[in-house]
Amino acid sequence: MTPDQVSEFQRGRFDWEGKPLRVDGDLGPRTRWALAMSRLDSRRQAIVANACGFVGLTERATNRGPEIDTWLERCGAPLGSPWCAAFASWCISVPVLPSAREASAQALGRSLRPATLILPGDVMWFPTGTWTGHCGIVAAAGPGEVACVEGNHGNRVALVRRRTADVRIATPLPVEELPGIPPGLPLVPVQREDTR
């Protein structure tokens, strides 16, 4: 792509933090990520856009805030409940897909189809107890790890890198005949966090 083509692409696009790309004609990591995202199924793009648009949102009180309360209410969960699954449910409820309204990370993960090919827009989840768990939206994948947008991580919506060996991946999308993997989809450069 020429610098003019890159600048044209950058207009109106966002990065993994939900921030507008700088229109500078430079094919840097944020622009490369956005370019790879633009090659995905439109439903996956919408799921990731929903998630990335809230990166940095912080609770105003314990498990509370205007957006958090809305996500919990749409799932029928009491206000002040842990909200990672309510956030992920809202993210994956895009047009043409069934509406998800699950406040439990384990229940949400189990309600979706297990994914063997990890793509942005999938749901990362893992149990933390008998019935408790944590989940987030996959924003990028690399060898042996995923970068996820997670609600209720450190009382905020955060980008977190996790090892694929420590998590489960499920998808809200139906089986795809030709899943169209963008070449070289870069892993979002965020801090990796081990799951114990």
Would the CA dihedral through 120, 101, 167, 161 be positive or negative? positive
Which residue type, as a one-letter code, is found at position 84? C
Asked if the 46-196 domain carries CATH number 3.90.1720.10, the reply is yes
Is 27 in a helix, a strand, or coil?
A: coil
Residue length, the chain?
196
- Quote the pLDDT of residue 77: 97
Domain spans in the chain, listed from the N-terminal domain onward? 1-38, 46-196
With bands split at pLDDT 50, 70 and 90, how would you rate the model's confidence at 111?
very high
Asked whether the predicted pLDDT for residue 183 surpasses 70, the reply is: no
pLDDT tens per residue, range 140-166: 998 999 999 999 999 999 999 999 999
The amino acid at 102:
E
Q: What pairs with residue 150 in β-bridges?
A: 158
Q: Is the pLDDT of residue 12 over 50?
A: yes
Residue 16 banded pLDDT, cuts 50, 70, 90? confident
Tokens found for residue 40: 């995905």
> What share of the chain has pLDDT > 70, as a percent?
89
Burial string for 22-53 (b: 16+ CB within 10 Å, else e) reads eeebeeeebbebbbbbeebeebbbbbbebbbb
